[in-house]
Amino acid sequence: MMLQAQQTAPHFKSVNQDQHTVQLSDFIGKQHVVLYFYPKDDTPGCTIEANDFSTLSPAFNEANAVVIGVSKDNCASHQAFINKFNLQLHLLADTDGSVCAAYDVWQEKEKNGEKKMGIVRSTFLINKNGVLEAALYGVSPEGHAADMLARVKALGV
């Protein structure tokens, strides 16, 4: 069931590129969270999105928000992706798919007439109280980070 704004954000807990545990409760009462899901490290659309979020990282910090990317890639893949592009964000390794399932981004997709399961590029804006301000499924990588920054700024610090 796809999530909607004003719902309580599902709890998430996973390891990041450094194998440190990151969970939603780390940020409740402290920071807004931009949680974005992407299909695969170091692929064209995912690289655009990650680079844009990384470039805007100082502005997200200033707006009291943390940006966290999630895919089913492992920690080593995330670390290589971060190193290759000097990314300034956390990437969670959801290798078991539990975070993807909680946010309903693991869906059937069709490409070239072939149907298969995969991550639908999606972003969730979670306020400091743990409530979804936005639940956006099927987003386009171009310009998406700037749109999310505007949404975060509208929430206030």
User: Coil, strand or helix: which one is 7?
Assistant: coil
- Kindly state whether residue 89 falls inside one of the protein's structural domains: yes
Rounded to an integer, what distance in angstroms lies between the CA atom of residue 46 and that of residue 39? 7
Record the tokens describing residue 60, joined without a space.
């997200």
In a 10 Å sphere around its CB, with 0-12 CB exposed, 13-18 middle and 19+ buried, how is residue 82 labelled?
A: buried
The pLDDT mean for the chain works out to 95
Range of the domain at 78: 13-155
- Kindly state whether residue 30 falls inside one of the protein's structural domains: yes
At 156 the pLDDT is 80
- Kindly state whether residue 8 falls inside one of the protein's structural domains: no
- In sign, the C-alpha dihedral spanning 74, 79, 82, 84 is negative
Instruction: Give per-residue pLDDT as tens, 13-70.
Output: 999 999 999 999 999 999 999 999 999 999 989 999 999 999 999 999 999 999 999 9
Instruction: Give per-residue pLDDT as tens, 62-110.
Output: 999 999 999 999 999 999 999 999 999 999 999 999 999 999 999 998 8
Average pLDDT over residues 140-146: 94
Rounded to an integer, what distance in angstroms lies between the CA atom of residue 24 and that of residue 143? 25
DSSP, res 87:
-
Task: Say whether pTM exceeds 0.85.
Answer: yes
| Exposure string over 23-57, b if 16+ CB within 10 A, otherwise e | ebeebbeebbbbbbbbbebeeebbbbbbbbbbebb
- Where are the alpha helices (H) located in 31-143, listed in sequence order? 44-55, 57-62, 75-85, 98-102
Residue 145 has pLDDT above 80, yes or no: yes
**CATH classification of the domain holding 63:** 3.40.30.10
Residues annotated as catalytic are: 46
Location of structure tokens 């070239």: 112
Structural domains of the chain, count: 1
- Kindly state whether residue 52 falls inside one of the protein's structural domains: yes
- Kindly state whether residue 2 falls inside one of the protein's structural domains: no
